[in-house]
Amino acid sequence: MKNKLKVGGFELFWLDGGLCRFDGGTIFGPVPKVLWEKKVPSDQDNYVPLSARPILVKTPDALVVIESGLGNKLTDKQKKVFRIREEWRIPEDLNTLGIDRGDVDFVILTHYDWDHSAGVVMHDGGELALTFPNARHILQKTEWEDVINPNIRAANTYWPVNIETLQKSGKLELVDGEAEIANGISVSLTGGHTRGHQIIVMRSGKEEAMHLGDLLATHVHFNPLWLIGYDNFPLDSITMKTRYEKIGVSVGAWFTFYHDPAYLACKFDEKGNTVDSLKPV
């Protein structure tokens, strides 16, 4: 299959979770447009492309999906607002790998903003159902507390249509801080983007991959000061981003991306230069 990366004994596959466009000012927050547009040109409306590619991690012991894509529940109005350019087709992608969506063991979400969680619940024959009905869905306890009782800033990104089915399913598993989810795959609470944002680390043999979620939305955001305008706790984002980038670079880890339309994964040097990369085909 296209878009595949080997990390030790793990195989990573990027799935078609949708492609949209967001205002460049929100994606690059405090960074002046004169700087970010040199790296990511915008259209006439100041919008830039943003992918939503979940990662299927195939290990010797488990099938793990990281993030869930934009889902198949967006209304026509929402598709227009978010300028959807490619549709969500996760079940079809899995089928090309000989995998049924019921085969997935774990779904790990860095946080529950709609653009990460909308694929958790799908329209299935006119009903709402879990996309991965047998999977344990992993979130930080702090994140879920805010999902259920959002503040005024978060209320518009935690959508009830993505919450209620999971809440009633018995498939939600909350962790508190650091936890090993499957052999070689662990999560750590970082905060920053949201109060309960977490990252995922994958280790197999002598190789490692790190999924920093919206702390490192794209390869262009490597500079710790290049933040997303949606970050709720920007100073925490800077601190955690600096810490985990340093760790990843020191061990030669792959940094995997969900939102980057140009790169699926990169290795960086200490200055943030790309020394190896995987691009979508």
Give the DSSP letter string of 241-253.
HHHHHHHHHHTT-
Mean pLDDT of 6-12: 97
Count of domains for the chain: 1
- Show Cβ contacts of residue 126 under 8 Å, excluding neighbours closer than 6 positions: none
The pTM assigned to this predicted structure is: 0.96
**pLDDT digits 0-9 by tens, 164-174:** 999 999 999 99
CATH number of the domain at 160, please.
3.60.15.10
Per residue in 204-224, pLDDT (tens digit) is: 999 999 999 999 999 999 999
Q: How far is CA 35 from the centre of its chain?
A: 25
* 266 torsion bin: left (phi>0), alpha (psi -120 to 50), beta (else): beta
For 257, the domain range is 4-278
In sign, the C-alpha dihedral spanning 64, 248, 238, 20 is negative
**DSSP result, 39-83:** TS---TTSEEEEE---EEEE-SS-EEEE---S-S---HHHHHHTT
Tokens standing for residue 274: 């790309």
Q: What is the mean pLDDT of residues 244-257?
A: 98
* DSSP secondary structure code for residue 86 in this structure: B
